[in-house]
Amino acid sequence: MEQDKLRTRVFIALWSAFVVLLVYLPLACVALASVSKGRYFAFPIRAFSWEWWEKTTDSIEISMIVENSLLVAAVVTVFSVVIAFFGALAFARYDWKGRKLYQKLILLPVFFPQPVLGLALLLAYSALGITTSWMTAVFAHMVWIVPVVTLVIAIKVYGFDPSLEEAAFDLGASRVEVMTNVTLPLLWPGIWSGALFAFLLSWGNFPLSLYTAGADSTVPKWLYAKMVAGYSPMVPALGTMATLAAAAVLLGGALLGAIVKKARAA
């Protein structure tokens, strides 16, 4: 029996490690290709060089595209977190007629293929005579990201004790005071991870940007255009940079969150 249990444990641990390896294998291949010298990729790599990284960082076109992506992600994050914060309160904090329906409505865009959503938005924009640009891409991203962030914050709201708010009201706090002194500090970790999700999901989004960003390009959109046009070592170089940037944001965000948590506890 005990031996049986041990065997299950070992199997599950090995299997999980194997799948994690497979998940990161293609990213490692992309990173390898980005530091290989020469115009074409061949393995085993004969000579390493940073030349494609340098060419990528020197390119004015690419720095414009990176700025676009950052701008879109930043605007999406600000709007999404504000809307999703209230959305999460409606999802999990308050009891109101229609809440169960609302909870399911919010999930619908998540359960919908993004290429189809992007094309439908493109058609709606043109029917309304709106020229697509990075701003329409922001809106498109929000349709998908606001529900995700709402869920992320809502999970935190479930663990939140509403009687704390009521106690503050009873002690004479105003609505704004309750919000800034009770609700926001308690929900802060959920809001912070929601913001990280919003930024990073927008940064990495491809299908929605492809159809709704118009003439403006984002990093994933540019990478795709180059991939289809034939091999260029700038694709793995920029792809690796974008991946590392996302990892840095995630690590930095988690670290900052942990520091703030510690400072609060002290």
Partner 1 sequence: MSNAMTETTLAGAPEAARAPLSARFAALWAAAGVRCAVPVVVLLAAGFLAPLIAIFAYSFAPPRSFDVFRAFSLANYAELFSPDNTVWLSFAWSIGFALVTCALLAVISYPIAYGMVFLFGRWSSLVSVLFVFPLFVSENVRLYGWVLFFIKNGVLDGSLKWLGLGGAPEVLYTPGAILAGMVYTYLPFMLFPLTLGLSMVPRDLIDAARDLGANRFQIWREVEVPLAMPGILIGMLLTFVLAIGAVSEAKILGGQSVIVISHDIEIAFTYAQNWPLGSALAVLVTAFIGALTLAVFARLDLDRLLGRR
Q: Which stretch binds partner 1 (CB under 8 A): 20-28, 60-68, 180-188, 258-266?
A: 20-28
State the minimum distance, in angstroms, from the CB of residue 48 to partner 1.
15
Q: Identify residues 232-251 at the interface with partner 1 (CB under 8 A).
A: 235-236, 239, 242-243, 246-247, 250
Binding mask 69-88 for partner 1 (x = CB under 8 A): -------------xxx-xx-
**Three-state SS for 262?**
helix
Q: Which is nearer to partner 1, 191 or 200 (CB)?
A: 200
Note whether 95 binds partner 1 by CB under 8 A: yes
User: Can you list the pairs that 249-253 forms with residues at least 24 positions away whose Cβ atoms lie under 8 Å?
Assistant: 249/196, 249/199, 249/200, 249/203, 250/196, 250/200, 253/192, 253/193, 253/195, 253/196
* 154-183 binders of partner 1 (CB under 8 A): 154-155, 158-159
Looking at the Cβ atoms of 59 and 204, the one nearer to partner 1 is 204
The span of 49-57, 59-67, 139-147, 256-264 binding partner 1 (CB under 8 A) equals: 139-147
Rounded Cα distance between 124 and 48, Å, is: 48
131 counts as binding partner 1 under rule CB under 8 A: no
Instruction: Count each helix (H run) and each strand (E run) in the chain, helices first.
Output: 12, 0
Tokens (6 digits) for 110: 């998540």
Among 2, 58, 98, 265, binds partner 1 (CB under 8 A): 98
User: According to CB under 8 A, which one of 104, 131, 164, 184 is a site residue for partner 1?
Assistant: 104
Task: CB nearer to partner 1: give 106 or 168.
Answer: 106
Pairwise CA distance, residues 224 & 221, whole Å: 5
**3-state SS, residue 36:** strand
Closest Cα partner for 154 from 80, 88, 83, 87? Answer: 88
The answer to whether residue 120 forms part of the interface with partner 1 (CB under 8 A) is yes
CB of 261 to partner 1, least distance (A): 14
Concatenating the DSSP letter of every residue in 95-106 gives --TTHHHHHHHH
Number of amino acids touching partner 1 (CB under 8 A):
99
